[in-house]
Chain A
Amino acid sequence: MSGRRVDGAGSWLDRSRPVTLAFDGREIAGFAGDTVAAALLASGAVGGFVSPVAGRPRGVYAAGVEEPNAFVEISAPWFEPIRPATMVDLVDGLQTRSRAGVGVLPASSVGARPARHAHRHVETLVIGGGAAGRAAATIAEGRVLIVDEQPVVVDPPPNATTLTSTTATGIYDDGYVLCYQRDGATDVFHHVRAQHVVLATGAHERPLAFAGNDRPGVMLAAAARAYLERFGVLVGDRIVVFSTNHGGHDAAETLAGAGAQVVVVDPSPRPGAATERLRAAGIEVQLNARVVGTDGEPALTGVTVSAADGQRTTLHADVLAVSGGWNPAVQLARSLGIGLRYDEEKTCFVHDGSGPEWLTVVGRAAGDVPASFPLWVVDDGEDSEKYVELQRDQTVADVADAVAGGLTHAEHVKRATYIGTTIDQGRTSGVLTAEIVNRLLGWAPGAQGPTNARPPYTPVPFSALAGPDSGPILLDPIRVTPMQGWHDAHRAVYENVGQWKRPRYFPRGDEDMDAAVARETRALRTSVGVLDASTLGKIDVRGPDAGVFLDRMYTNRMSNLKVSSIRYGLMLGLDGMVFDDGVAMRIGEDHYVVTTTTGGAAAVMDRFEEWLQTEWTDLRVYCTSVTEEWSVVAVGGPRARDVVAGAGTDADLGHDSFPFMTFRDAMVAGVPTRICRISFTGELSYELHLSPWHAQHVWNAVMAAGEPFGITPYGTEAMHVLRAEKGFVIVGQETDGTQTPDDLGMAWIVNTGKGDFVGKRSLVRSDMLRDDRKQLVGVMTEDPGRVLIEGTQLLADGTIPEPPAHMLGWVTSSYRSDALGRSIALAVVAGGRRRIGGQVHAVVGDATIPCRVADPAFYDPEGTRRDG
């Protein structure tokens, strides 16, 4: 190949603006408007690339996204690991190197192209700014958007917005189209919603399979023409055009007109209109002829042609331009499920007209392509030299191997050969491969078509999909309580609970978590501790039917709860499995506030709304999420009453006047507060529910009042230990969606006499009544110092059998208990309650350790401590 720039051509080029390209360490002169591939061809470069599998020398083959050979890494002015050289526009400072089909990410971070996202709503989106697309846009009404993957759209219609260098990467339901725009050095990812989508994506020229068809210098005829018309690059001086159709013939005429010496090799036995025109222009046309081989070391120097009479001649040539027919580019629509039919005259698959009514296919994409002589593979020569897929180095012989192995479907052959699994997604190889399979099986042309196509149409950088880095706040909200600043100042170590940041423990000095948790739990059991429980989910439930509604949502009765009283409740799924738990507080006749788990608040709210809106539409109930309207300061321990009193309150805290599971609306430290006697630790406890605006003030008052008692702030880890000592479950820790109330030993909270509630019917399904269901029990290691890992599997005896072993269950919670001076664990064990007092064996590595099964209420099972 001896490409050179010629005068009078190059509609995309700005010859007044020279731009220098760095490619594999060489400086190459080009102009603004060039692509890397165009500048390389203009410089006379031949080849310059290698194939990724066999390492064969390769040259530029195409002029667009279908390029299978020429790939570059871009290292400046931004980094991209790999991109077709045909799709990289020259810009100042552009540095590239050749890449063999596979990009390489550098070890250190690199500057990806900045990206942003945009949303567009239009009446008509036209994909493709060629003649057919522009014609469709011109007559469209309303807002019209044209996108085209190339950097130039000629004569854009004035009624349309036109985005160049913009690829529609996928068409989805209801006219939703994603478009990837390269806007200079920035990527823009457009989310377009269009009432009407026009697919004007044109057609891709197809190569032919003949021996030696991968040599540098062999390229698509339309590409040779495009380099001349767009960039003023004549790719060679002696060009053989191997063409089955007038598209290739037209290219030959254009190339000859620019000064190349052109010979056309046409397999058709009879002359057509194009033949006559070419001959009239003085171009040699050999009919009933085929290219059967190429020469060159490695770049093309000669083309061997077999004439009608079988006579072989070798033509001196530096370019062999190939046109084996045209494939309408309907890949984008195929993910919508459109059908294809085979057109025998055009030897290609065309849209059969099916698909959504908002989609129209026009122009060459709709099958308006030249008729083509049906030639796919040239019989002469070795099949192992006839390349089908350049990027995977797969030949006709490889396809034959796959078929000989019993594969008959193009999708299977694709997976056996990797044909079409390339950066160009098989644009040049897909239809050709399917047709070779059809031939090998003795099937008619078009008996099966190419493999399916899925988005994205061309590769999209992850950085473009990700969009701008807008910081953590838009990634996932971080929720904090009003006491966050205080927690920070007191060295809280946080854990994430849903979106919430909750203090896990407050280390002092050089304490580790175990030491801090032991100190925090000891303070609460012996004196007083304070927990920020503001993250508890809270739902305000109002209306004349609020009690009836809650009766149907919880397993126990809430409608008979007295005003100013509190009741614990379990909520089940329709399948009878525990879904969430919390308490209900009755504020007034028609007014409750219910609490949920920290992580379950949104799901419980959703479930309330779903039942009220879809099933019990007659109930007069209104639910409002008030999680962030109420902060909670939980004061617990034997001195809790002294501390709340010391903080200053007008409530009578005496046990008889303010008993367990009731609440009082009163003043605490000058702030209106709902004081609730609830305990999740077994100790005397007051939860102070109040406005978040004043929560820090009340927290401070509690800390000050507690100082004489050594009040200790504690975190979620201590809370977990304290509740486990009491055998209280945490939904999501002891449960995984397969536990009924009875499995948790909580049958006492299921009121089967009150009427129907969600999940009730499921509780008496036969599977729920099995006596070997996994039940919640306590587990104590024989060695009191041994703390099991949560998730540890439990066996009936101490030898580990060959797999599959029959596991009795597993440990759900496990801690070192300061109050008990030993380790404790909760577990779910098959038939566990019958095993209380017996032994199980925990599997730790290759060994087992013996454990005693116990009642889960380890500490103060009589509940003597809750009233102080």
Chain B
Amino acid sequence: MLLIRCPWCGERDEIEFTYGGQAHLAYPSDPETLSDAEWADFLFMRENPKGEWAERWMHAAGCRRWFNAIRDTATHRMIGAYRMGEEPPG
């Protein structure tokens, strides 16, 4: 079970959180102008890297806030967590 550092509450067990998938995937400013392929790419396609990547978490059994975190998908190491709107650490 991961130990996740909520930027608001501190370190908590993974079971207190829900997972939100890839981070920094901004909703298109004008979806109407996207082709079907571009919209499908936004809707369905996600990165799946081996190594560090940014993902979203929500502290469901705590402050109920969304935040972003960097995790190494190969080792499960949590590298850092940061609030919405903040830059990734390092």
A residues contacting B by CB (< 8 A) are 172-176, 193, 337, 356, 574-575, 606, 609-610, 613-615, 617, 756, 760-762, 765-766
Contact = CB atoms under 8 A, between A and B. Distances in A.
A356 B76 CA distance: 9
A756 to B, nearest CB: 6
Interface of B: 1-3, 13-14, 20, 26-27, 30-32, 34, 36, 39-40, 43, 56, 58, 64-66, 75-78, 84-85
A174 B56 contact: no
Given A337-B75, A762-B39, A615 B3 contact: no
Contacts of B26: 615
B3 to A, nearest CB: 4
B75 A356 contact: yes
B66 A610 contact: yes
Nearest to B30: A756
| Centre residue among B20, B40, B64, B66 by max chain A CB count within 10 A | B66
| Centre residue among A574, A575, A606, A761 by max chain B CB count within 10 A | A761
B32 to A, nearest CB: 7
A460 to B, nearest CB: 16
B40 A614 contact: no
A756 B31 contact: yes
A175 B76 CA distance: 12
A193 B13 CA distance: 9
A253 B64 CA distance: 65
Contacts of B20: 610, 614
A617 B36 contact: no
A594 to B, nearest CB: 18
Given A610-B66, A617-B84, 9 more contacts: A173-B1, A173-B14, A174-B78, A176-B3, A609-B64, A614-B56, A760-B31, A761-B31, A765-B36
Contacts of A606: 58
B31 A173 contact: no
A541 to B, nearest CB: 16
16 contacts: A176-B1, A176-B13, A193-B3, A193-B13, A606-B58, A609-B58, A609-B64, A610-B58, A613-B65, A613-B66, A614-B56, A615-B27, A756-B30, A765-B36, A765-B40, A766-B36
A598 B34 CA distance: 36
Contact of A175 (B3, B58, B66): B3
A356 B2 CA distance: 13
Given A614-B66, A617-B85, A173 B32 contact: no
A173 B76 contact: yes
Contacts of A175: 3
Contact of B84 (A613, A761, A766): A613
Nearest to B14: A173
A174 B43 contact: no
Contact of A761 (B2, B13, B34): B34
A573 to B, nearest CB: 10
Contacts of B65: 613
Contact of A356 (B27, B43, B77): B77
Contacts of A617: 84-85
A756 B32 contact: yes
Ranked nearest first, the 8 interchain pairs of A and B with the lowest CB-CB distance are A761-B31, A174-B3, A613-B66, A176-B1, A173-B76, A173-B2, A614-B66, A615-B27
Nearest to A355: B75
Contacts of B40: 765
Nearest to B38: A761
B37 to A, nearest CB: 10
B12 to A, nearest CB: 10
A174 to B, nearest CB: 4
A756 B32 CA distance: 8
B21 to A, nearest CB: 11
A609 B30 CA distance: 22
Nearest to B68: A614
A326 to B, nearest CB: 29
A144 to B, nearest CB: 19
| Centre residue among B26, B27, B78, B85 by max chain A CB count within 10 A | B27
B13 to A, nearest CB: 7
A430 to B, nearest CB: 25
Nearest to A611: B27
A17 B16 CA distance: 48
A575 B84 contact: no
Nearest to A193: B3
Nearest to B28: A761
Nearest to A119: B13
Contact of A172 (B1, B27, B32, B75): B1
A756 B34 CA distance: 13
Nearest to A178: B1
A240 B84 CA distance: 70
A331 to B, nearest CB: 19
Nearest to A755: B32
Nearest to B56: A614
A174 B64 contact: no
A174 B78 CA distance: 9
A176 B78 CA distance: 14
Contacts of A760: 31-32
Contacts of B27: 615
Contacts of B75: 337, 356
Nearest to B23: A614
B77 A762 contact: no
Nearest to B40: A765
Nearest to B78: A174
Contacts of B32: 756, 760-761
Nearest to A575: B43
B8 to A, nearest CB: 12
Contact of A174 (B2, B31, B84): B2
A567 to B, nearest CB: 24
A194 to B, nearest CB: 10
A173 B64 contact: no
A39 to B, nearest CB: 40
Nearest to A612: B66
A615 B30 CA distance: 14
A439 to B, nearest CB: 34
Nearest to A758: B27
B39 A765 contact: yes
A49 B42 CA distance: 63
A438 to B, nearest CB: 28
Contacts of A756: 30-32
B88 to A, nearest CB: 15
A173 B4 CA distance: 10
Contacts of A613: 65-66, 84
A615 to B, nearest CB: 5
Contacts of A762: 39, 43
Nearest to B75: A356
Contacts of A176: 1, 3, 13
Contacts of A766: 36
A337 B72 CA distance: 14
B69 to A, nearest CB: 13
A366 to B, nearest CB: 20
A306 B1 CA distance: 54
A176 to B, nearest CB: 4
Contacts of A337: 75
B70 to A, nearest CB: 14
Nearest to B76: A173
Nearest to B1: A176
Contacts of B13: 176, 193
B47 to A, nearest CB: 17
Contacts of B85: 617
A695 to B, nearest CB: 28
Contacts of A356: 75, 77
Contacts of B2: 173-174
A312 B20 CA distance: 71
A575 B42 CA distance: 11
Contacts of A173: 1-3, 14, 76
B60 to A, nearest CB: 8
Contacts of B14: 173
A614 B43 contact: no
A517 to B, nearest CB: 38
